[in-house]
């Protein structure tokens, strides 16, 4: 936590508005808009819920195809199943995010209703090109910016290129509300409809009137109070995350077989996690060695097309993300780490190499 969160939570309690409405819900929506440059935002209970609503608002129906990055966390893809739609996966380019050329091939063949592109580990995909392709084929673009809050492409925030963008306030993200998500959109009408669907699609009557299926997806005022407090520290968190990445690069960059996650020239990522790949050494051996020293680390995302849940799903390409999974490692990246911690971790990694 940064400092103001408890004060805001206390104010939320004093106002006695704990429910999914109240001052902080409105304020978080305003602050996310002001920060990201998106015209409209709806505070929700999770980033996953935000993706689900984005698909619903995109008019996705049963059996429709939706193109999704394969190199991502499950929550980019599972909302496609909530809609009884069919996910089609697209591989990464050499900078780890969705390959625009493969995307165009997939769009031509599959005629999807929507595209969900993830900005992985806080590093922007080639989003200007992806947005242009989606526009030229008239496909709705949904940006999964759950990991990339504050990351820029051409000085524009990830999440604000598509008709929809989503941010996550889950506990593991760069800032958190304990749990939560925000749906941003280029059209205020979409977002007010999202708020309606997220409150059980209750019609504006004295009694409980429902004309369509909704969800219980709003964020509580208490969570929003934490989120508002966290917005104050987002910029400093990004600076810290980027400094942690630079420290690792300084300490391990001389090792020839190590490649750190690249950054697009036109992008400035938030470096949510410091990640790298090994040419020869086994990352699982490195993870074991770190674990012996009481240090938690993880492999890179296992691609969606390799998940048992999606066996049989179509994938365009696949080899790049498979190699990333086989060869990659997420290093500890918590902003509370000190230089000595990073040096110790780097020393263990170095000692575990072949
Ligand atoms: C965390 C995450 C989500 C989901 O966000 P929640 O708020 O946890 O539901 C979606 N996509 C990616 C890439 C994520 O990392």
pLDDT, one tens digit per residue, over 111-164 is: 999 999 999 999 999 999 999 999 999 999 999 999 999 999 999 999 999 999
Report pLDDT for 86: 98
Residue nearest to atom 10 of ligand 1 (CA): 75
Ligand 1: residue of 144, 165, 300, 333 to mutate (most ligand atoms within 8 A of CB) is 144
| Ligand 1 site-directed mutation target among 50, 168, 172, 300, most atoms within 8 Å of CB | 168
Percent of the chain with pLDDT over 70: 100
pLDDT of res. 227: 96
DSSP 168-230: E--TTSSS-SSS-EEEEES-HHHHHHHHHHHBTTB-SSSS--BSS---B-BPPHHHHHHHHHH
Average pLDDT over the chain reads: 96
State the pairing for strand pair 274-278/65-69. Answer: unpaired
Assess whether the region 5-231 and the region 234-352 belong to the same CATH fold.
no
Query: What's the mean pLDDT in 16-37?
Result: 91
Angstrom distance (rounded) from CA 167 to CA 351: 37
Quick one: pLDDT at residue 19?
75
Q: Show me where the domains of the chain are located.
A: 5-231, 234-352
Task: Report the pLDDT averaged over residues 229-250.
Answer: 97
- Look at residue 2 in the predicted model and tell me its pLDDT: 78
The reported pLDDT for the residue numbered 317 is 98
pLDDT at 22: 83
Answer yes or no: are the C-beta atoms of 46 and 168 closer than 8 Å: yes
Measured from CB, residues less than 6 Å from any atom of ligand 1 are 46-48, 72-73, 75-76, 118, 144, 146-147, 168, 170, 181
Cβ pair 40, 70 in contact under 8 A: no
Q: What's the whole-model pTM score?
A: 0.97
Q: Tens of pLDDT along 188-232?
A: 999 999 999 999 999 999 999 999 999 999 999 999 999 999 999
* Residue 22 near residue 224, CB atoms below 8 Å: yes
User: How confident is the model at residue 126, as a pLDDT?
Assistant: 98
Q: Which atom belonging to ligand 1 lies closest to the Cα atom of 147?
A: 15
CA 154-322-286 angle, 5° bins: 95
Tell me which fold the domain 234-352 belongs to.
Answer: 3.90.1150
- As assigned by CATH, the class of the 5-231 domain is alpha beta
What distance in angstroms lies between residue 43's CA and the mean position of ligand 1's atoms? Answer: 14
Is the pLDDT score of 18 beyond 90?
no
């Amino acid at each position: 936590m940064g400092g103001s969160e408890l004060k805001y939570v206390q104010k939320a309690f004093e106002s006695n508005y704990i429910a999914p409405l109240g001052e902080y819900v409105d304020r978080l929506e305003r602050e996310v808009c002001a920060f990201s440059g998106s015209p409209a935002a709806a505070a929700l209970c999770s980033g996953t819920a935000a993706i689900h609503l984005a698909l619903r608002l995109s008019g996705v129906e049963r059996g429709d195809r939706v193109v999704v990055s394969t190199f991502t966390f499950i929550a980019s893809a599972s909302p496609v199943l909530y809609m009884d739609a069919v996910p089609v996966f697209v591989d990464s380019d050499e900078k780890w995010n969705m390959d625009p050329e493969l995307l165009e091939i997939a769009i031509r063949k599959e005629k999807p209703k929507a595209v969900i592109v993830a900005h992985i580990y806080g590093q922007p995909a080639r989003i200007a090109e992806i947005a242009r392709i989606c526009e030229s084929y008239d496909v709705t673009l949904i940006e999964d910016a759950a990991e990339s809050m504050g990351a820029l492409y051409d000085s524009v925030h990830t999440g604000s290129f598509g008709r929809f963008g989503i941010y996550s306030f889950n506990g593991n993200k760069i800032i958190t509300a304990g749990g939560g998500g925000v749906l941003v959109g280029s059209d205020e009408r979409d977002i007010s409809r999202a708020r309606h669907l997220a409150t059980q699609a209750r019609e504006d009557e004295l009694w409980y009137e429902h004309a369509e299926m909704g969800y219980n997806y709003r964020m509580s005022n208490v969570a929003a109070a934490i989120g508002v407090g966290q917005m104050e520290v987002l910029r400093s968190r990004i600076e810290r995350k980027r400094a942690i990445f630079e420290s690792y690069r300084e300490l391990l960059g001389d090792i020839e077989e190590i490649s750190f996650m690249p950054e697009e020239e036109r992008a400035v990522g938030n470096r949510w996690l410091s990640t790298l790949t090994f040419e020869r050494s086994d990352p699982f051996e490195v993870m074991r060695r770190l674990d012996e020293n009481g240090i938690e680390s993880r492999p890179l995302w296992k691609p969606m097309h390799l998940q048992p849940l999606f066996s049989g799903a179509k994938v365009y390409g696949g080899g790049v993300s498979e190699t990333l999974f086989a060869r990659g490692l997420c290093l500890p990246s918590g902003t509370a780490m000190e230089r000595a911690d990073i040096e110790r971790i780097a020393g263990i990694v170095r000692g575990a190499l072949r």
